[in-house]
Amino acid sequence: MDFHGKQGTLAVVLSLLLLPMCGAMGRAESGPCSQESLKGEYAFTITGQILSGPAAGPVTGVAMTHFDGDGILQQVDHVVHNGSLPAMEWRPATGTYTVNDDCTGAAQINFTDGSPSLNLRFVLAKHGAEIRTVVSNPGTAITSIGIKDGW
């Protein structure tokens, strides 16, 4: 074998040795999500509107939600509907969520004051440090962005 042949062989061997490392590095950087990807305290900004019914009009608010990393959430929110302040300054809620491998997911929030439950669809960004949601209840156009505490 000439030098060029040895160099070519060496390049192939190095490529084969480095290939698993490159794959692992890629997975670590943009790997799949799990329930654990959504864990901790998240501060949300809520905006949108209710399109029909007695509460029709603009919606704006904030929420603090704790995700336990195992599919259970607890939350308090302060949401202004059509310029009217909420009956409770901080309305408590509980709920459940699921995170898909592709970093999409769903959640249901159940309020203690008798308000209708909210069904959400979401995407996780920044390795779980940010969550973007949309309310998927009929007659709503409400979105929110949540940032993990400490980011």
Q: How confident is the model at residue 58 (pLDDT cuts 50, 70, 90)?
A: very high
81-95 tens-digit pLDDT: 999 999 999 999 999
What per-residue confidence (pLDDT) applies to 36? 95
In 42-133, which residue ranges form alpha helices assigned H by DSSP?
none
Q: How confident is the model at residue 42 (pLDDT cuts 50, 70, 90)?
A: very high
Q: How distant is the alpha carbon of residue 93 from its chain centre?
A: 18
100-147 tens-digit pLDDT: 999 999 999 999 999 999 999 999 999 999 999 999 999 999 999 999
User: Is 78's pLDDT higher than 90?
Assistant: yes
User: Is 60's pLDDT higher than 50?
Assistant: yes
What per-residue confidence (pLDDT) applies to 6? 52
User: Is 4's pLDDT higher than 60?
Assistant: no
What per-residue confidence (pLDDT) applies to 26? 37
- Give CA–CA dist 91/85, Å, rounded: 12
Q: Do the beta carbons of residue 42 and residue 67 sit within 8 Å?
A: yes
User: Is 20's pLDDT higher than 70?
Assistant: no
What is the average per-residue pLDDT within 5-22? 41
- Give CA–CA dist 42/129, Å, rounded: 8
Q: How confident is the model at residue 16 (pLDDT cuts 50, 70, 90)?
A: very low
- Give CA–CA dist 149/103, Å, rounded: 19
